[in-house]
A = this chain, B = another copy of it.
Amino acid sequence: MAGQAEEGRRVRLNRERVLAAAVALADEAGIDSLSMRRLAQELGVVPMALYKHVANKEELLDAMVDVLVAEIDPPAGGAGWKSAIRQRVLSARRVLLRHPWARQVLESRTRQTPAVLGYTDSFIGMFLAGGFSVDLTHHVMHALGSRMWGFTQELFDAPAGPKADAPAVPPEALAAMFRQMAERYPNVARVAMAAAHEEGSVVGHGCDDQFEFEFALDLLLDGFERLHQQGWTSRQAKPARMPPASTGT
């Protein structure tokens, strides 16, 4: 990251270099560090120089999403819709995990770039090719939501990760915290302890995100399959607004 400034000063700036630098900066320093000023500095250029290659910060973020989309594998053919969708989602997930900023940026996007539309279009095409009705495909795409991009928002999921600068908490204080926690939130404690045990990991290590992601993805795909086989349509479902595959209770 040093020396880049001098080197950059002689090479002409262009859109590609701006985007590559933006992605690299977000990858390495985090999305909060990606400011127009910081990015310009990284490129050895005055902030305003960027605006010749990118309309504004919003458009820069849109373009970064396009870079992302280009990294997702094209649809795999031949193995049926379910496996094709599954593989593609997991490919998107691998891309997302390479770029920690992607989740937050995708969530904040409101413009559909051509690349995003293209991805969505080919994704929809996979259901249609599998024999899904346009109607079912529509609702199924909504149900998938952000899972189509390989992520779900795991709310509050960086639970008290010990800060690097924070002083180590003495073990007896930690034990007291756990006891108090278990008393006030017994159900959370039971689930957390079971999960920690299951992983064979240290308490608080967290969950196997990949397993949880695939668990929910497969649950949904199985549900989609069932509805498809039953010839589900929103007509039946809508007037009474009944659950799709059961009669409640």
Contact B215 A122 (CB under 8 A): no
Per-position binary interface string of chain A over residues 117-159, scored 1 when its CB falls under 8 Å from any chain B CB and 0 otherwise: 1101110110010000011011101110110110011111011
Contact A156 B190 (CB under 8 A): no
Chain A count of residues within 8 A CB distance of the other chain: 75
Supposing A139-B215, A249-B82 touch, asked if A187 and B146 sit within 8 A by C-beta, the answer is no
Contact A146 B135 (CB under 8 A): no
The interface stretch among A15-23, A33-41, A52-60, A220-228 is A220-228
Contact A225 B246 (CB under 8 A): yes
Residue A146 contacts which of B80, B137, B152, B195 (CB distance < 8 angstroms)?
A: B152
Minimal Cβ-Cβ distance residue in B for A125: B187
Minimal Cβ-Cβ distance residue in B for A148: B155
Contact A155 B107 (CB under 8 A): yes
List chain B residues, Cβ under 8 A from A82: 248-249
List chain B residues, Cβ under 8 A from A216: 142-143, 145, 220
> Whole-angstrom distance from the CB of A208 to the nearest CB of chain B?
8
